[in-house]
Amino acid sequence: MCGEAGATWGVGPMAWPDRGVTLRPLTGADLPLLARWIAAPHVARWWSEDPAGTESHYRPTIAGEDRTRVEIVQLHGEPVGMVQSYDHRDEPGWDRAIGIERAVGIDYLIGETSALRQGVGTAAIRAAAARVLYRHPAADVVVAAPQAANAASCRTLERAGFVLLDRRMLDTDDPSDAGLASVYVWRRPPADPGRWSDGVAMLDEAYAAVDRFLADADTGTLTRGSRCAGWSVRDVLVHVLDDATRALQALATPSLGPADRDAVSYWRDLPPPLPGSDGAATDVPRGPGEGWSLARLRAGWHAGRTAAIAGAGAADPRGLVQTQGHVLGIADFLDTLILEATVHLLDVSGSPGGRALASTVGTFDALTGGPLPDWDVEAYLLRASGRIPLDAADAVALGDRAAAYPAFG
């Protein structure tokens, strides 16, 4: 959304919630370090593996002869642990012991004591779980089964979004599985093709309204002030193009997940906008649209919106994307783009309509509890988005709900 002149929501570095934690493939050079971790008392208590056998055990994985994926957990580029992931069908004994269809599994350890109790394990588990589901599209669930007595591991799984399925003895030959096991699962979000396809259609509808506005615009239109404080109409339209570009980038890069926001909660992290203008100001200087001619904007918008809609239409309905430091499901992400385009059309006195407008109203209803009876749709959205502040009469009529305005921030 918009704010001070030159500040563009949607442009610039993204703040990844698990920043600093990365995964990379295990290499031969890592084996001595991995052996040291396996021998460490806080790991050896739960990981019954002979450190002396690390070389022979993991060399086939490094050589690509074992289908198990083993990765090093890094914190700010330094190795601190390991995660491994696998299809249960490649481990028949384990598959029988767990007894869950279409499952993949993960095991993990944080070897460096300096990295314990910092959220590193949570971040690594989230990353590994999403990656293994991405590599195995036929799988529906990720399983992790630490010993029930390993309370720290169980808490880490729960923080990562796993859910305890049951506690039971597992019939395996691995000494690490001795004793009561806590079987945790992370299920792939169910596909919602109907909501996804509706989202693609509504986004196309919202972007078509921007097409119409640009087709009717002239140079004078672009230099008018908008309802975004400090921004001209041109600035707002360039910002909408930035959103389309951000959408394409996000859709082309599946997220590590899991989702931490939906189409409603996503907006609660936005800073509240400055009060808008009445659209009468002209020649607002040095906004994000500086230097953009009408011809350049039309050409850029046509290319950007075409690519964004194509990317949305090709997306996996079960997929996750990362944007603005958060992770959303595809359908939720599309809803945020629809709202953004719709509100910005109002910012430039454009004419959004149809299902895209209804979708935006629905999101604002969830954020604010709904409008006053005497507001029309435009009046409602301008107040809910902070373009027009509530007056004293509005605040009295809304009562406790007035605290929800504006919906952003």
Q: How many domains does the chain have?
A: 2
pLDDT at residue 274 tops 80: no
What string of DSSP letters covers 349-390?
A: T----HHHHHHHHHHHHHHHS---TT--HHHHHHHHTTSS--
pLDDT of 17 reads 41
pLDDT at residue 4 tops 70: no
**Whether residue 173 is found in the same domain as residue 285:** no
**Whether residue 33 is found in the same domain as residue 74:** yes
**Whether residue 147 is found in the same domain as residue 211:** no
pLDDT of 161 reads 85
**Whether residue 72 is found in the same domain as residue 142:** yes
Tell me, yes or no, whether 15 lies in a domain: no
- β-bridge partners, 84: 70, 107
The CB-side HSE value for 212 (13 A sphere, CA atoms) comes to 12
Dihedral sign, Cα of residue 355, residue 359, residue 364, residue 370: positive
3 vs 225 pLDDT, higher one: 225
pLDDT at residue 11 tops 50: no
Mean of the per-residue pLDDT values for the chain? 87
pLDDT of 353 reads 80
**Whether residue 95 is found in the same domain as residue 136:** yes
Tell me, yes or no, whether 6 lies in a domain: no
Tell me, yes or no, whether 409 lies in a domain: no
pLDDT of 151 reads 94
| pTM of the entire predicted model | 0.61
Chain position carrying tokens 């809803």:
335
CATH code for position 42: 3.40.630.30
**Whether residue 246 is found in the same domain as residue 162:** no
What is the percent of the chain with per-residue pLDDT over 90, rounded to a whole number?
A: 68
Tell me, yes or no, whether 2 lies in a domain: no
**Whether residue 108 is found in the same domain as residue 249:** no
By residue range, what is the domain housing residue 83? Answer: 21-187
Please tell me the distance from the alpha carbon of residue 190 to that of residue 178, in angstroms, as a whole number: 33
Q: What is the pLDDT of residues 35-73, one digit of tens each?
A: 999 999 999 999 988 999 999 999 999 999 999 999 999
DSSP state of 65: -
CATH code for position 339: 1.20.120.450
Q: What is the pLDDT of residues 70-109, one digit of tens each?
A: 999 999 999 999 999 999 999 999 999 999 999 999 999 9
**Whether residue 202 is found in the same domain as residue 133:** no
Tell me, yes or no, whether 170 lies in a domain: yes
Q: What is the pLDDT of residues 200-220, one digit of tens each?
A: 999 999 999 999 999 999 999
Tell me, yes or no, whether 202 lies in a domain: yes
Please tell me the distance from the alpha carbon of residue 176 to that of residue 233, in angstroms, as a whole number: 63
pLDDT of 280 reads 38
pLDDT at residue 5 tops 50: no
Out of 187, 203, 222, pick the residue that ends a domain: 187
Q: What is the pLDDT of residues 387-400, one digit of tens each?
A: 999 999 999 999 99
Tell me, yes or no, whether 10 lies in a domain: no
**Whether residue 258 is found in the same domain as residue 242:** yes
Out of 187, 221, 240, pick the residue that ends a domain: 187
DSSP state of 117: T
**Three-class DSSP category at 224:** strand
**Whether residue 294 is found in the same domain as residue 207:** yes
pLDDT at residue 156 tops 50: yes
**Three-class DSSP category at 86:** strand
pLDDT of 2 reads 66
Tell me, yes or no, whether 247 lies in a domain: yes
**Whether residue 224 is found in the same domain as residue 356:** yes
Side chain identity, residue 336: T
Which band of pLDDT confidence, cut at 50, 70 and 90, is reported for residue 188? confident
Side chain identity, residue 82: M
Chain position carrying tokens 């926001």:
261
Out of 187, 202, 217, pick the residue that ends a domain: 187
Which band of pLDDT confidence, cut at 50, 70 and 90, is reported for residue 287? low
**Whether residue 321 is found in the same domain as residue 304:** yes
Q: Which of 311, 306, 288, 203 is nearest to 237 (CA)?
A: 288
Which band of pLDDT confidence, cut at 50, 70 and 90, is reported for residue 341? very high
What is the percent of the chain with per-residue pLDDT over 70, rounded to a whole number?
A: 89
Please tell me the distance from the alpha carbon of residue 83 to that of residue 73, in angstroms, as a whole number: 7
pLDDT of 22 reads 87
